[in-house]
Structure 1
Amino acid sequence: MLLSLLVASLLVMGSPGPSTISVTAVGAAFGLRRSIAYTSGLIAGTVLVLLAVATGMMAMLLALPRIAPVLLVASVGYILYLAVRIATAPPLATPDRSRDAPSFAGGLLLALANPKAYVAIAAVFAGSPLAPSVKIAVLSGMVVLIHAAWLAAGAAFARVLRDPVWSRRANLSLAAALVAATLYSVV
């Protein structure tokens, strides 16, 4: 049962989405060390999403007929906005130490607005017969590992993403994956 929870969380929660795509881009643009605050915000926000799903708070909010559509439209709109920003972003430049890396608050906000996180976590959480406390502990650990892996991937591919042709391909691919993941999670 534990192994199936780990595999499901890796496949569903670790697939490309707003949080994982953004942490990869930030890792590529700013490097590992300068991306820690943003990544920590993503992790904290995703764990808050996990707790909201686990306690039924999200289910209660979505049960309110006037709130659910507003939350959905706001989340999807924000994610589509991010997809356009990713698709039209210029190639990565040589790291500029004078530019501020994205903040903890930026990561936290993205994680809380991420519709894929709610859907993915709910699917994985509901699909396991383990005790809720065990699922929360395991999934919290997976959130940390998944974000750390995507951050490391971004930092590792920074040189490739500085090439204009490869950067354009990566940007378009990541934007398309972001839109697809969002549409899949809301349909």
Structure 2
Amino acid sequence: MRRHSALALLLLAAACAPQAPSPTLPAGVGTAAATSQPVLGVGREVVGFFRNPQPNQPAAAARAIAELEWLADNLPNNPRWQRASSVGLNGLQQSRWEARRALGIPERAPAQAVINGLAAAARAIDANDQAALARALPRNVFPLGPQATVQRLSAPPQVRDLMGAYESLISDPVQGAVH
């Protein structure tokens, strides 16, 4: 009986513990986040990129994966989307892990560090600034290092569940979302 009470108390305490704030998108990434429905706008940007990912555009891939990371971390914690389709939310998480695996990003890496690194990498790639690129992709978050990460971004990963996940989320009648 004591074990069950202790377990229940532990679960209750965990549920009441403060959650980390939702990640934000840095300037130059997720331009649709400034719209009245940022999740839908950013989702359209991500889906637009991954519907037909173009090779040799590592900055665009870095921005799209940063946006995917933001969506995957933001939606489950966003009160408006907490009751969204579990199929859609799970598909979004699977897409996130596929992108992370493709870039060698550890699963435990904080979402904000991944988002900031990829956003800064996109700016550095656009500016052809190798020093900024090295600073953008620290090895504790991007263990492959800057050159290998950019090489992988140049051949964007396939994220199989993304299209279905997004469609499932935006067509969810609970959300009342409009295409």
TM-score for the superposition, normalised by structure 1: 0.28
- Which structure ranks higher in relative contact order (CA pairs < 8 Å, sequence separation ≥ 6)? 1
Query: Computing the radius of gyration over CA atoms, which structure comes out larger, 1 or 2?
Result: 2
TM-score for the superposition, normalised by structure 2: 0.28
